[in-house]
Amino acid sequence: MEELITGAEAMARALKAEAVDTVFGYPGGYIMAVFDALFAYKEEVTTILTRHEQGAVHAAQGYARASGKVGVVLVTSGPGASNIVTGAADAMLDSTPLVIIAGQSGVDKLGSDSFQETDLIGITQPVTKWNYQIRTAAEIPWAIARAFYIAREGRPGPVVLDCSKDAQAEKVDFHYEKCTFIRSYQPYPSINETKIAQAAEWINSAERPLAIVGQGVQLGHAQEELLQFIEKSGIPVATTLMGRSVLPASHPLNMGMVGMHGNVAPNRKTNECDLLIAVGMRFADRVTGDEKSYARQARIIHLDIDPSELNKNIHADLAIAGNVKYSLPAITALLEPSSHTQWVESFRPLQQLEEEHVISKDLHPQGDAMTMQEVVRLLSELSGKNVVCVSDVGQNEMATARYFQASPSRLYVASGGLGTMGFCLPAAIGAALGSPKAEIYSVCGDGGFQMTEQELGTIMQYNLPVKILLLNNNYLGMVRQLQEIFLEGRYASTRMQNPDFVMLTSAYGIPARRVDRREELQAAMKEWIAAEGPSLLEVQVEEKGLVFPMIPSGHPISDMILEK
């Protein structure tokens, strides 16, 4: 029997059919019909009212990264829609699956500059995996099904649906079928067995192999396959910033992080290895430095699900397209057990060099002022086994990436490719909803925190157990560091006059405390961690602290600055 329902109701039912349990958003005139339809399903689908549309997208990113599901965003037209662009661009670069649904004016008003009309399709085309304008109610089930398939399958990414007011109001005979195939989209390339055999042959004959692994291992749920690969081959491993959680930090073959503020040993050994195996990473410029001098001495094997990433930035001698969950074990099956003991031991002197010139100074400073690094290390030591640690962008991010001991069960989440300040607080909100049994930590700097601090209202309204660690140095620290090193200390527009963060947070009904002395830190942090519900711990850290090692932008990765 035919059942006619509105397009808004059809959208709500379609989201239910895709097992959506959480929607982040902000209502407005051209999308309130969908919010109204979802209200009838409030016991099954939780709608989270953020305080800004950008916050909604970052929250959906945090939800997706913590849960492995597709994050869903619902906003109105015009400024509501345009406010999602930063989050969409961030999700695109970091391969985060999102479905963002925006309201739009009536079809007869399109192109007329009517109230709160904007060309969302044109605006978001460069920063989405797919976008589509829905003009009729009949298109809604098809568009929703296709959007979820594209967002999650293959290399994940954001999808935008621009839904007209007419489509929401029209009646439609609702029928929903999940999308399982799109003729023009092949999300999982067939793995070339000849190339797999060639990769195994090269690995078996290599004397100084090095693997660099990225977030693709996590997105492909291939952590166990990676572990089997490195333990059979005995190959030392480095991670990218986005790949920090794919391997336990304590694993003896984990040599740390590569990149601009990565560890000395894996960075320098990249230019000494005879075989470089890149797994689920994209050779971003922050990893490679000067591309012309990057790993010139090595054969390079590159495994990635996205064929467009192969040979894009760095030429690979052997490029293998495919999901690393399947390509990696296929190689492992052909490997001869090995240890590479002498090669692994050659990393130790460089690790000791970093320990003496960087780590010991970070964790055991001579002065009274606390460093970001020692505060983050204490958090790492005191937090539990099931953790999501979200960092913002800047010095706090690099300190957290270096000193928070990540693993598959201690997830590290950051904005990598776009480097979006303000990502942290709303992403932690999403992580709290996506991983409700985990401890959730939001590690912010004073600059990034103020970009999205309004989301304290979201935390307050839903009583989300987000623990905010605010590392306050009264500067835009990373820019200030560059000014100190390269611009003779001319601190143009980086000194910040900050509010009373404890008073501000308390105004939202969230307990807050400020610590400015080292002898108070451990007890304060233990109390902050143990407290139920949300809370903020502001720690006054040294104003002009530096994050080392550091590779100047555009320089070879061997040009690492260890100290000023």
Least confident of 112-126, 302-316, 385-399, 405-419: 112-126
Q: Is residue 223 part of a domain?
A: yes
Q: 250 and 113, same structural domain?
A: no
Q: 162 and 302, same structural domain?
A: no
Q: 215 and 122, same structural domain?
A: no
pLDDT tens-digit map of 59-110? 999 999 999 999 999 999 999 999 999 999 999 999 999 999 999 988 887 7
Of 321, 327, 328, nearest in space to 189 by CA: 321
pLDDT tens-digit map of 486-538? 999 999 999 999 999 999 999 999 999 999 999 999 999 999 999 999 999 99
Q: Is residue 303 part of a domain?
A: yes
Domain boundary (348, 381, 416) is at: 348
Q: 295 and 168, same structural domain?
A: no
Q: Is residue 510 part of a domain?
A: yes
Which CATH number do you get for residue 214? 3.40.50.1220
Answer for the pair 167, 110: CB distance below 8 angstroms, yes or no.
Answer: no
CA dihedral 470, 53, 14, 168 (to 10 degrees): 160
pLDDT tens-digit map of 10-62? 999 999 999 999 999 999 999 999 999 999 999 999 999 999 999 999 999 99
Of 93, 63, 169, nearest in space to 390 by CA: 63
Q: 86 and 46, same structural domain?
A: yes
Q: 236 and 168, same structural domain?
A: no
Q: 321 and 219, same structural domain?
A: yes
The span from the CA of 534 to the CA of 464, in Å, is: 6
Instruction: Please tell me the predicted confidence (pLDDT) of residue 113.
Output: 82
3-state secondary structure 449-493: HHHCHHHHHHHHHHCCCEEEEEEECCECHHHHHHHHHHCCCCCCC
Q: 197 and 60, same structural domain?
A: no
What is the domain range of residue 74?
Answer: 4-173
Q: 490 and 375, same structural domain?
A: yes
Q: 159 and 206, same structural domain?
A: no
The span from the CA of 261 to the CA of 372, in Å, is: 14
Positions annotated as catalytic residues are 53, 115-116, 165, 478
Amino acid in the structure at residue 202: W
The span from the CA of 164 to the CA of 31, in Å, is: 9
Q: Is residue 551 part of a domain?
A: no
Q: 197 and 337, same structural domain?
A: yes
Q: Strand 299-304 to strand 318-321: parallel, antiparallel, or no bridges (unpaired)?
A: parallel
Which CATH number do you get for residue 475? 3.40.50.970
Residue 227's pLDDT band (boundaries 50, 70, 90)?
very high
Residue tagged 């505060």 (tokens): 375
Per the structure, the count of domains in the chain is: 3
Q: Is residue 55 part of a domain?
A: yes
Is the pLDDT at 466 greater than 60? The verdict is yes
The span from the CA of 377 to the CA of 330, in Å, is: 37
Domain boundary (173, 204, 228) is at: 173
Mean pLDDT of 350-374: 97
Answer for the pair 150, 133: CB distance below 8 angstroms, yes or no.
Answer: no
Helix axes 372-382, 395-403, angle to 10 degrees: 40
pTM for this prediction = 0.97
Domain boundary (104, 138, 173) is at: 173
pLDDT tens-digit map of 381-434? 999 999 999 999 999 999 999 999 999 999 999 999 999 999 999 999 999 999
Q: 514 and 433, same structural domain?
A: yes
